[in-house]
Structure 1
Amino acid sequence: MTYTPALPLTGYAGWALLKRTMAVQQKAYLAQPQITRDEDYFKAKIGQVKTAEQLVSDRRLLKVTLGAFGLESDLNSKFFIQKILESSTIDPSSLASRLSDKKYLQLASAFGFGDYSTPRTQLSTFPQEILSSYETRSFETAVGEQNDNMRLAMNAERELGKLAAKSSSENTKWFTVLGDTPLRTVFEKALGLPTSFGQLDVDKQLDMIRQKAEAQLGSGAIAQFTDAGAVTKLIHRFLVRSEISQYATSGSSAQTALTLLQSRLR
């Protein structure tokens, strides 16, 4: 029997309920026989993998691997994923380094096929490292099948603090946001950026998103998200604006709800 996350409410009220029940729901989700079988298989087999070709040739191992990085849609792209896995993460001209979606670079770095003579699959701690990420992201995917805004909020809550704590420049951090579709979606909606935003030159996008963040969040720096309160504020704006968009297309019967939601952003 497949477990489906319970999401009876939408918007920020739904997010608050999900947060309160998340530990219990995730435990129930991960207890499903198919997931436990896939995890047991990964633990038993991944240590035998020493090349990228061996990994992509085993669909069950590849399924868990890609799920751990939010790349499950690439399950049938074996040749492409093999090239990513074989990429050096040190060489800025490598395929993994050049792609704007940095999840591919994270994948290549985690396995180390292109960086080390002995890949990281040989480390005793490696299976649990990947499985911890797989459990988090696969539950997010299950939530997203019910409500994609909740999945985006979960991703933002998980990723923003890590990005904010990096030693790279603020511009580099913002470019990371602009190149990461889930994070970018949250910021675009939360800050009320126009649909034409994505058509601007990337430097103009950077200027606009920083200005909007300064005006609406109180800071134009990604560093603010080392504070959990700042992440919560962003997610709140994202979910409320998402509800406003939905009510705005629902006709006059939703006008009262729309007015109440708009007041929450002031």
Structure 2
Amino acid sequence: MSFQPIIPGSGLAGWSFLQSTLARQIEAFEDSAPVQRATDYFVENIGAVSSASDLVQDRRLLEVALGAFGLGEDINNKYFIEKVLSEGTIAEDALANKLTDSRYKEMAQAFAFDTLSPTGQTSFAQEIIEKYERRSFEVAVGEQNETFRLGLNLERELPEIASSRDANDTKWLRILGNPALRAVFETAFGLPSQFGQVDLDQQLGVFKENAERRFGTDEISDFGSPDRLEELTQLYFLQDQIKASSGLDAGSIALTLLQSAGQTQL
């Protein structure tokens, strides 16, 4: 896309500017010609789609559908996406239910091709477009500053998880299954990206332990409050700057990984 967000700096200063101008920048992004063309086409044509096959055969529709769930890089993986969508989520052994990345399940649930799909409803098109516009703006921000993209994603997605009726461990698992949210927490807690190779139960324990130590709570519902969300965001930016300036070597990363994993066995 040709739209370029205005980001005059990095770190907390740049983040503060982005936050203060966010509403105006998002509006300008949504009014840009490429976005208007994409969303208008989606509104005009999604109603005729009744199957996963219909969707993947129309690249312009598929771009919006995937973009709405942050899966734009899968645009050429048509067979995989068709399988995810056609199997849906009702069957326990459906592909979307087996994938670690929760975004595929969210997309399959939204399109519901395994049951009565809502694609013919006007409200459905609008819901997908709203997701597409917001996520696409975040992608545009990420092209200039990936840290800011993850910060915007955190502000959008974490309150939704926090307010859900899921059990606390389920909420944590949703975070662990979301690459962008997971990256924020890993950075905020000073964990290496290789930490994802550790047993899932150990990962859960370490994440909860770090949350308790740094914020005085491991309840994800508490992170739905603006103040706690801001605390997490600031810690993320601080740790990201420290990480960028220190440049941990492979030995340090391995040591951190072993220490973090070992803590859960105490």
On whether the aligned pair clears a TM of 0.5, the verdict is: yes
Aligned counterpart for 1:227 among listed residues 222, 225, 228: 225
Report the equivalent of 1:211: 209
**Mapping of residues 1-266 of structure 1, within 5 Å:** 2-116=2-116, 119-194=117-192, 197-249=195-247
Q: Distance in 2 between matches of 1:131 and 1:33?
A: 15
Preserved contact between residue 11 and residue 243 of structure 1 (Cα < 8 Å): yes
> How far off is 1:92 after superposition?
2.0
Amino acid at match of 2:111: F
**Structure 2 CA distance for partners of 1:164 and 1:33, relative to 1, 3 Å:** same
Helix, strand or coil for the counterpart of 2:122? coil
Which segments of 5 or more consecutive residues in structure 2 lack a partner in the other structure? 248-266
**Structure 2 CA distance for partners of 1:124 and 1:194, relative to 1, 3 Å:** closer
* Count of matched residue positions in the alignment of Structure 1 and Structure 2: 247
Preserved contact between residue 156 and residue 183 of structure 1 (Cα < 8 Å): yes
1:130-167 per-residue CA deviation (whole Å, 9 max, x = no partner) reads 10101100000000000000000111111111111111
Question: TM-score scaled by structure 2?
Answer: 0.89
Percent of residue pairs identical: 43
Q: CA RMSD of the aligned region, Å?
A: 1.4
Preserved contact between residue 89 and residue 115 of structure 1 (Cα < 8 Å): no
Which segments of 5 or more consecutive residues in structure 1 lack a partner in the other structure? 250-266
Helix, strand or coil for the counterpart of 1:6? coil
Preserved contact between residue 183 and residue 193 of structure 2 (Cα < 8 Å): no
> How far off is 1:196 after superposition?
5.2
Preserved contact between residue 87 and residue 113 of structure 1 (Cα < 8 Å): yes
Question: TM-score scaled by structure 1?
Answer: 0.89
